[in-house]
């Protein structure tokens, strides 16, 4: 059987390759999305002091280090049984909102955008950010560069460094901001809101008004009806920093809603020998294979899933855009994978509006930013929404706070089954007997995974962890023969 390789996948974070096997007649026999990287974070975290974890785990990903830093810092709060001060929480969420603006901007313009702006069949030498800038003009290109640069400045000002910040501690953050910095951040928040609105207009002009693209978005080829997962606040509105994890079924009905410490009851993972990454699924539904639908435990945790899982956005402009998106797509929940790009831009608007709310809060310049932990550390779970999906950190330490076991379920990992299925379906629908397989066609197959904004370094840090488990074996007479346990 003929095998075509797309190696490596490009315009994403991390390493991946796609193997497409063709029948003799030229149709697709099967497709495999392999992830060939692994680094082993959960193993080598063992023996490290817990307070090092925000800085160690953020090296899982340099595109979304703030997500790991934040999840890790929240895990430390739980581990040390210490509540961060009110100002510290706001500073954390302020940095986090600025981070969302940069990361989603990076994805839309640099990673995924070229497919739409330059076209899927454009030559590879042009189908990238430099081609985009040349085509749409220096003004928009300049706005992209400036928005990213400005928000990385915000991250540095609050978090210490523009990439791989250092400010997270159990009970708070290491540094406060002064009024001069606050005022500048406020300006950046305002222009970020404008930039978010501009980006939605770009999406409108380039994608929605282009019939070929709109057909692609709404086509069955790029649709899977799955469960959707996202973090929601007490009003069931999308929140990136804190809340409970909510999962809705393919029809939009709430299926489960859990607090961070209960994640272990709801998620499990499937292994295949041809990839280093595992496939999480909803335990209460079960693993039924690479299929979608209500009876399959496959779920998605993407910007579109977050919007599906929530009842709305917590800020006004974002809420307007949320309503406009669903009305165009024909209702909620939406399962059009390519519409994830749209949801991502709605999230830029929310992140920027949230940034503005927080930076205008009088408490944001407070110097009361640290609570010193008093309790003995033992175990903690922290969850945030990473741009690419729900991110869970779980640490167990000794009484000195040295890591004994570490457990991570990362954004992109949640989506592995789904993006694999998206690629498979696209390949099966686009490669037909007799049809020439061009570079552009292979790129269209890659367009099936790009909406997921893959972060494969994240996904393959290593693999998840510990659940207290006790198994008792009885003989035929009901006598206890053996008791096994781990993590207890």
Binding to another protein (CB under 8 A) within 73-132 occurs at 76, 80, 106, 110-111, 124-125, 127-130
Task: In angstroms, give the least distance from the CB of 310 to another protein.
Answer: 26
* Contact region with another protein (CB under 8 A), list: 234-242, 274-282, 338-346, 357-365: 274-282
d(Cα 248, Cα 243) in Å, to the nearest integer? 16
Candidates 310, 144, 287; CA nearest to 236 is 310
Smallest distance, another protein to C-beta of residue 394, A: 10
Site membership for another protein, residue 12 (CB under 8 A): yes
Residue 161 binds another protein, judged by CB under 8 A? yes
Rounded Cα–Cα distance for residues 310 and 385 (Å): 13
User: Shortest Cβ distance from residue 307 to another protein (Å)?
Assistant: 26
264 sits near another protein (criterion: CB under 8 A): yes
Half-sphere exposure of 172 (CA within 13 A, CB side): 16
432 neighbors 7 (Cβ within 8 angstroms): no
Nearer to another protein, 333 or 389 (CB): 389
Positions 40 through 69 that interact with another protein (CB under 8 A):
40, 42-49, 51-52, 55-56, 59-63, 65
C-alpha to C-alpha distance for 452 and 341, rounded to whole angstroms: 8
What does DSSP say about strands 389-397 and 379-386: parallel, antiparallel, or unpaired?
A: antiparallel
**Binding segment (CB under 8 A) for another protein, from list 202-210, 250-258, 271-279, 324-332:** 271-279
3-class state of residue 465 by DSSP: coil
Whole-number Å distance between alpha carbons of 476 and 381: 40
Binding segment toward another protein, per CB under 8 A, in 87-95, 275-283, 300-308, 324-332: 275-283
* Residue with smaller CB distance to another protein, 38 or 206: 38
Which string of DSSP letters, residue by residue, matches 25-43? TSSEEEEEEE------HHH
Q: Which of residues 164-203 bind another protein (CB under 8 A)?
A: 164-167, 169-171, 174-175
Rg (CA), the chain: 23
Interior angle at CA 36, CA 304 and CA 124, nearest 5: 65
- Contact pick of 84, 196, 451, 464 for another protein (by CB under 8 A): 464
Between CA 158 and CA 162 the distance in angstroms is 9
Output the smallest distance, CB 428 to another protein, in A: 13
Q: Looking at beta carbons only, is 358 or 463 nearer to another protein?
A: 463
What are the CA-CA distances from residue 289 to residues 44, 297, 412 (Å)?
Answer: 31, 9, 18
Binding of another protein at residue 241 (CB under 8 A)?
Answer: no
Q: Is 372 in the site for another protein (CB under 8 A)?
A: yes
Among 260, 401, 411, 451, interactor with another protein by CB under 8 A: 401
> Residues 362, 325: contact at Cβ < 8 Å?
no
**From the CB of 256, what's the least distance to another protein, in Å?**
16
Residue 38 lies near another protein (rule: CB under 8 A) = yes
């Amino acid at each position: 059987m003929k095998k075509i390789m797309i190696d490596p996948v490009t315009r994403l974070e991390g390493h991946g390759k796609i193997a497409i096997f063709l029948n003799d007649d030229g149709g697709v026999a099967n497709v495999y999305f392999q992830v060939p990287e692994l680094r082993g974070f959960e193993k080598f975290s063992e023996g490290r002091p817990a307070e090092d974890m925000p800085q160690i785990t953020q090296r899982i990903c340099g595109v979304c280090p703030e997500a790991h830093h934040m999840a890790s810092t929240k895990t430390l709060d739980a581990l040390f049984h210490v509540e961060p001060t009110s100002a510290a929480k706001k500073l954390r969420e302020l940095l986090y909102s600025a981070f969302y603006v940069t990361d989603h901007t990076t994805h839309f313009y640099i990673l995924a955008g070229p497919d739409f702006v330059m076209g899927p069949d454009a030559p590879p030498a042009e189908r990238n950010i430099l081609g985009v800038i040349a085509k749409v003009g220096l003004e928009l290109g300049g706005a992209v560069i400036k928005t990213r640069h400005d928000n990385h400045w915000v991250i540095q000002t609050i978090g210490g460094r523009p990439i791989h910040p250092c400010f997270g501690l159990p009970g708070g953050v290491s540094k406060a901001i002064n009024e001069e910095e606050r005022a500048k951040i406020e300006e950046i928040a305002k222009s970020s809101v404008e930039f978010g609105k501009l980006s939605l207009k770009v999406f409108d002009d380039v994608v929605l008004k282009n019939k070929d693209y709109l057909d692609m978005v709404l086509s069955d080829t790029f649709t899977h009806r799955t469960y959707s997962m996202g973090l929601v606040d007490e009003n069931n509105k999308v929140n990136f920093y804190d809340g409970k994890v909510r999962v809705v079924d393919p029809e939009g009905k709430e299926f489960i809603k859990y607090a961070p410490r209960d994640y272990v009851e709801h998620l499990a993972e499937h292994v295949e020998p041809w990839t280093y990454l595992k496939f999480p699924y909803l335990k209460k539904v079960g693993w039924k294979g690479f299929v979608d639908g209500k009876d399959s435990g496959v779920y998605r945790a993407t910007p579109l899933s977050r919007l599906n899982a929530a009842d709305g956005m917590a800020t006004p402009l974002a809420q307007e855009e949320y309503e406009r998106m669903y009305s165009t797509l024909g209702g909620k929940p939406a399962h059009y994978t390519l519409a994830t790009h749209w949801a991502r831009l709605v999230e830029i608007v929310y992140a920027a509006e949230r940034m503005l709310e927080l930076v205008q809060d009088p408490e944001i310049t407070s110097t009361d930013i640290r609570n010193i932990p008093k309790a003995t550390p033992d175990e903690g779970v922290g969850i945030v929404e990473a741009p690419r999906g729900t991110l869970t950190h779980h640490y167990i330490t000794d009484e000195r706070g040295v890591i004994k076991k570490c457990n991570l379920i990362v954004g992109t990992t949640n989506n592995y089954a789904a993006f694999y299925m998206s690629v498979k379906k696209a390949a099966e629908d686009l490669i037909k007997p007799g049809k020439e397989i061009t570079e552009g066609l292979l790129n269209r197959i890659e367009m099936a995974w790009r909406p997921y904004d893959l972060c494969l370094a994240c996904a393959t840090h290593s693999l998840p962890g510990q659940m207290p488990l006790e198994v008792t074996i009885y003989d035929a007479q009901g006598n206890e023969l053996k008791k096994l346990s781990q993590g207890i």
